[in-house]
Amino acid sequence: MPEEAAATPPFLQEFLDHLRVERKLAANTLAAYGTDLKSYFRYLARAGRALEAVTAETLAEFLWARRTEGLKPASLLRLAGALKQFHRYLKREGHAAQDPTATLTGPKKPERLPNVLTEEEVRRLLTHAPSPPRFADRRFRAMIELLYATGLRVSEMVSLKRDQVDLEVGFVRAWGKGGKERVVPMNRRAIAALEGLLAERPVGPGAFLFAHPSGRPLTRVSFWQHLRRWARDAGVHRPLSPHVLRHSFATHLLANGADLRSVQEMLGHADISTTQIYTHVDREALKRAHRQFHPRP
């Protein structure tokens, strides 16, 4: 029997369907969980260990093995979470007599502050104007204006339809994780950029706002590739990911006096503790300023 078939129990798909339907997890998260659990099943198959014989020690050994293979802390944390949810599901549905993760001590969440641009670096990104001007460049600048104005996730932005954006009132309706809808205001610069874009190339109500000539939406990967080139040409010399504009949006709002609850609503965070990381970023900036400018450091 092929290793993949032996290592994958029949209730894996059942579990993933449960996460998709009941928990409404995003497709990317489901794919990550599936990959994590398949690596777990392959490990058990190589070790000759049946799933019903798994103990907390088995799980700890597997996590340690993945760590020594170079799995990053954040990925290790997600893997531990997938194992816990999977074994809890098996016990709850009667597929297993016990949950070996009940006594498992998982890896600690890494304390890593998000990468955030300075306001000057954002200004460089948003005022950069390639020459000769092309429609693709004007569209891209409108995209980064929108991201910085609203804090949308890149996946939410590239999937926007024309009727989700109200340029008269100045807001965007976005569907985040779990299909939750939220309404986020836009600033005048983002509205003007989108108005100019739509005046040049109108888009129908049900069509994607940012699309290829074929009508297909742009992808996150193509946006990331364009962002790297754009940042380099704009004189922003630091590693960038598409999420950095979302991080910068939240950090700059809080640094300029916005309240945490409002930022939580705009970001679409279910738990305010997720939003609080941006207050940590601001405190780090205060510490650096204090060390730099205090007369008696």
What does the alpha-carbon distance between residue 10 and residue 148 come to, in Å, rounded to a whole number? Answer: 44
Amino acid present at 18? H
Neighbours of 75 (CB within 10 A): 15
What does the alpha-carbon distance between residue 197 and residue 216 come to, in Å, rounded to a whole number? Answer: 17
Q: How many helices (H) and strands (E) does the chain have?
A: 14, 3
Q: How far is CA 246 from CA 64, 99, 156, 249, in A?
A: 33, 38, 11, 5
The catalytic residues are 153, 177, 243, 246, 269, 278
How would you class 77 by CB atoms within 10 Å of its CB: exposed for 0-12, middle for 13-18, buried for 19 or more?
Answer: middle
